[in-house]
């Protein structure tokens, strides 16, 4: 069942990505991830991120916090909050907030690791134009990631596909974006690693199609799991 689902998603995603886009953009994403594991079953992650365009302009500045509860390897509820400041028409910066809830699951097959992520996002965007307004955006997102551990090396190449479905109340319910990402994870130690990737993103079902090529570099650090203090009984 997992194999059939994986094949279907990748086949449909690759088919959509091959469609030509009338505009092309290039971006650079960089950031860090600090993971605080309170126990083996619960962790909180903080992630600052900066996204730049090929015009050397800040496209997005992001601050995000995510909490994940591991009930089972196939059942990991996740909740997140994101504040971001982004650049958009008519050439101004706006503020946005995003609330997310989803389910993560992972399966290890030999040296392969398959991760699936289904998420619901609710966005609130503050726009300052002729007065003040708040836009509401809702979307569903599903992503599949395959990581391979190369024997006798620290390199872990991966490929990832994500598709977005817009369910905003004032829009047609349809697929809005698709992403294909490939890269390498390099662990320096058990607690720190670096991710390098290349990504292609296409906007779908729009009168102004846009393809974006992105290079990314992220640093990850995991703090040691906190242990309960022992209590001496006299």
Half-sphere exposure of 204 (CA within 13 A, CB side): 21
Angle among Cα 10, 62, 188 to the nearest 5 degrees reads: 70
Residue 164 buriedness (CB in 10 A; 0-12 / 13-18 / 19+)? buried
Q: Contact 57/87 with Cβ under 8 angstroms?
A: yes
Q: Contact 73/105 with Cβ under 8 angstroms?
A: yes
The whole-number pLDDT of residue 200 equals 97
Detail the DSSP E strand segments found in 70-209: 76-88, 92-109, 112-129, 131-148, 156-166, 174-187, 192-203
Buried b (16+ CB within 10 A) or exposed e, 132-144: eeeeebebbbbbb
Please state the domain extents for the chain: 2-18+34-222
Instruction: Compute φ and ψ for 33, nearest 5 degrees.
Output: -135, 125
For domain 2-18+34-222, which architecture applies? Beta Barrel (2.40)
Cα 216 from Cα 198, distance rounded (Å): 6
Residue 43 buriedness (CB in 10 A; 0-12 / 13-18 / 19+)? buried
Alpha carbon of 116 to those of 38, 83, 112, 138, 146: distances in Å? 23, 24, 13, 20, 9
Q: How many Cβ atoms sit within 10 Å of the Cβ of residue 158?
A: 17
Instruction: Compute φ and ψ for 231, nearest 5 degrees.
Output: -115, 125
Q: Contact 222/193 with Cβ under 8 angstroms?
A: no
Q: What is the pLDDT along the chain (234 residues), one digit of tens a residue?
A: 545 555 555 555 555 545 545 689 999 999 999 999 999 899 999 999 999 998 878 999 999 999 999 999 889 999 999 999 998 877 788 899 999 999 999 999 989 999 999 999 999 988 765 456 788 999 999 999 999 999 888 889 999 999 999 999 888 899 999 999 999 999 998 899 999 999 999 999 888 889 999 999 999 999 987 665 554 444
């Amino acid at each position: 069942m997992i194999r059939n689902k994986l094949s279907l998603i990748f086949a449909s995603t690759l088919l959509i990505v091959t469609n030509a886009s009338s505009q092309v953009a290039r971006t650079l994403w960089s950031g860090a991830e600090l993971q605080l594991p309170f126990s083996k079953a619960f962790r909180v992650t903080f992630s600052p991120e900066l996204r730049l365009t090929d015009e050397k302009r800040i496209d997005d500045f992001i601050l995000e916090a995510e909490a994940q509860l591991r009930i089972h390897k196939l059942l990991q509820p996740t909740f997140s909050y994101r504040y971001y400041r982004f650049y958009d028409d008519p050439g101004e910066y706006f503020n946005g907030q995003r609330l997310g809830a989803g389910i993560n699951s992972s399966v290890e097959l030999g040296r392969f690791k398959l991760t699936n992520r289904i998420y619901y996002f609710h966005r609130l965007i503050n726009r300052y134009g002729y007065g003040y307004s708040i836009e509401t955006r809702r979307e569903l997102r599903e992503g599949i990631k395959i990581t391979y551990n190369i024997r006798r090396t620290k390199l872990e190449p991966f490929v990832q596909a994500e598709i977005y479905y817009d369910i905003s109340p004032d829009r047609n319910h349809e697929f809005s974006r698709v992403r294909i990402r490939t890269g390498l994870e390099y662990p320096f130690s058990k607690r720190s690693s670096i991710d390098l990737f290349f990504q292609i993103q296409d906007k779908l079902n729009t009168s102004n199609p846009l393809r974006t090529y992105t290079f990314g570099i992220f640093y990850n650090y995991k703090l040691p799991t906190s242990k309960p203090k022992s209590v001496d009984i006299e």
